[in-house]
Amino acid sequence: MEGEAEIDRLPIDLLAHIFVLITSFTDLAQASGVCRKWKQAVKQSLGRRESLSFAGWKMDDDSTARLLRSAYSLKELDISRRRWGCQITDTGLDRISMAKCISNLTSISLWGITGITDKGVVQLISRANSLHHLNIGGTFITDDSLYAIAHSCPHLKTIILWSCRHVTENGLFVLVNCCRKLESINVWGTRVPVDCFIALLTISPALKIKPRGLSLNVDASMLPIA
């Protein structure tokens, strides 16, 4: 059509490919408001993404859940609280848990989100059965969340519990006993006694317990013979 801008002649699939390269959700929102065609292309671009990070963006429950509903191919989700932080609550985690992509996620980071509790975490984790990596450090979770992780995430390989001060040895024992593929656990800043970590190594001798400077005073003779 005469007078039509070159970019307006692009098919939706190609526009979607271009929008996949945009990392700013503000820019995507603005692009979505240009016209119906661009709105559809933005939606398609979300469906193609395998990784989304909201860290540093001022996202809330509604906006985060709305975006995830279109992210059908998502494998990695980061909604950490960093510079500005995601204002996510248990209500948001409940809505996010209903997204189709949740059961296919291999990595989730909830780092530093202080507005969530066990209620929201348990709801989310109960559907995230493909998780390999979980960062839940800097939150106020308790053993209830660890019990849910233990029973819902059999493929879990790494977990970060940095400064989760309400986690106890009971939760860690259940976690390590059930998640037999667990390779690494970060317990820096927790209030769990060192004796607990020695006991965890008797359950899983190959488990890497971080920080590395933690003195466990354990040798091979203290571990079970395979």
The model's pTM: 0.82
Band of pLDDT at residue 212, cut at 50, 70 and 90? low
- Identify the pLDDT of residue 22: 74
CATH (one of 1.20.1280, 2.60.40, 3.30.70, 1.10.3470) for 9-48: 1.20.1280
Nearest Cα neighbor of 76 from 103, 53, 48, 58 is 53
Band of pLDDT at residue 15, cut at 50, 70 and 90? confident
Q: Could you write out the DSSP letters of every residue in 125-187?
A: HTT-TT-SEEE-TTS--BHHHHHHHHHH-TT--EEE-TT-TB--HHHHHHHHHH-TT--EEE-
* Close Cβ partners of 27 (under 8 Å, ≥ 6 residues apart): none
> 50-222 sits in which CATH class?
alpha beta
93-119: pLDDT as tens digits: 999 999 999 999 999 999 999 899 999
Nearest Cα neighbor of 89 from 68, 66, 75, 110 is 110
- Identify the pLDDT of residue 214: 57
Let me know: does 200 contact 173? Beta carbons within 8 Å: yes
Pairing of strands 133-135, 51-53: unpaired
With a cut of 60, say whether residue 85 has pLDDT above it.
Answer: no
| Percent of the chain residues past pLDDT 70, beyond the cut | 85
With a cut of 70, say whether residue 37 has pLDDT above it.
Answer: yes
- Domain boundaries along the sequence of the chain: 9-48, 50-222
Band of pLDDT at residue 76, cut at 50, 70 and 90? very high
- Identify the pLDDT of residue 121: 98
Band of pLDDT at residue 19, cut at 50, 70 and 90? confident
With a cut of 50, say whether residue 1 has pLDDT above it.
Answer: no
- Identify the pLDDT of residue 225: 38
With a cut of 80, say whether residue 154 has pLDDT above it.
Answer: yes
**Segment among 30-34, 76-80, 98-102, 145-149 with least mean pLDDT:** 30-34
pLDDT, average across residues 145-171: 97
Band of pLDDT at residue 218, cut at 50, 70 and 90? very low
